[in-house]
Amino acid sequence: MKMTVIGCGYLGATHAACMAELGHEVLGMDSDIDKVAILNSGRAPFFERDLDALITRHTTTGRLKFTASHQEAAAFADLHFIGVGTPQRPGSDSYDLSHLFDAALKLAPHLSTPAVIAVKSTVPVGTAPRLAELLQAAAPAGDQVEVAWNPEFLRESFAVDDTLRPDRLVLGFQKTHSWAESVLREAFAKIIDSGTATIVTDWATAELAKGAANSFLATKISFVNAMAEVCEKSGADVTKLADILGHDHRIGRHGMRPGLGFGGGCLPKDLRGFIARAGELDADQAVGILREADAVNTRRRRRVIDLAHQELGADLRGKRITVWGASFKPETDDIRDSPALDIAQKLHDLGAYVTVTDPQALDNARKLHPDLDYVQDLIAATEDADLVLHLTEWHVFTHIDPKRLATRTTSRKIIDARGTLDTDRWREAGWMIRALGRPSQDE
């Protein structure tokens, strides 16, 4: 098939490359000319595992191209995926839909023949009818422009695999057995034929799917971190407790990892956006548990700062602190709502001299937090540190030999906020190590 992908950020570029991998002819469209040039050169303007290889392969064969022209995109195909960003609105927890409606308004005047607009962007429930009305009013093809909803469930650093081999495929339509449904079933035929669970539903249910899934995951992460707070007070070990709970098939261990909590461009935004929309629908009380989940997540960040005070004293001015991690999770350069950088900035604001190291995200971090110091080399970054904070669980941090750092730091103190360091190994090397939700050294 021929298809376009409107919006070539993290979601759109990944989707475009993966649809080309499935055998389709794909034109990606983005209004950022510089981004288009980078993509046409065969690479992504951000780091995502395995994505550059796909883009290079399919731009080389000509199966995948990118443009900045809405007119060219409209003429290229009758199936158009929209994957633009829907960030939080400034000063609000609600979604900012301006990019979505802007993309639709710029595409619509060029739609003179029947077309399917399949939206992948995360939105508040009730958006689809508004978008369909706008498109059909502005497009020469009128009501022959059909709107479908195809939510994404991508995990950063696993986005390629999640697109090609998803847990489930959700397709939402105004009415079933429509032309739009037949078009999308053809587009995803290889995925459907592989046995992937395919749920065909209405617009509203499909719109709710992504926000509900992320809100549940956020609640699960926040629950285990609430248990970490109890463990810290009682001397219990949250990692063992999580294993015990995880063996219950009704709960499961996946996604229930105690530590610093969640960040990134999806979970916090989708959790808060889901809560905000529930309030608009007069269902505010129903999502009280989600509001508390958000609060638990925020407390984990404050807990790390409290532990830093416990180890270095009430006055952090002049103290040298090394932060391991800038990205919100490993295997990505994404720093959106990064717990690591949030903590690093707060410690800097308290007067500490903060050095950050990360395998991929330092360039992005430097733009957003120019006051911090950045060192690429892990060993050099710990030079003369009074305290080390392990805040993003990159493999290189988890498996560092503590003896290599023993003569570098001013004092051997480390706080493991991700729970992936071997505490016995670090203590045997002479370090004081504190891990969230686990017994301290003197217990």
DSSP 110: G
| Count of all residues that appear for the chain in the document | 443
Structure-token pair, residue 197: 């669970």
List all residues 6 or more positions away from 407 whose beta carbon is below 8 Å from its beta carbon: none
- 98-107 and 127-138 helices cross at what angle (nearest 10)? 30
CA distance linking residue 316 with residue 420, whole number of Å: 26
Alpha-carbon distance 41 to 39, whole Å? 5
Q: Is 266 a catalytic residue?
A: yes
Q: Which residues, 6+ apart, have CB-to-CB distance to 6 below 8 Å?
A: 12, 29, 30, 70, 73, 80, 81, 82, 83, 84, 103, 107
The 3-state DSSP class for residue 429 equals coil
Residue among 8, 18, 231, 266 flagged as catalytic: 266
Which residues, at least 6 apart from 395, have a Cβ–Cβ distance to it below 8 Å?
330
For residue 371, give Cα distances in angstroms to 46, 106, 341, 356, 363: 23, 39, 11, 11, 13
Contact criterion met (CB below 8 Å) for 241 and 223: no
The set of catalytic residues is 266
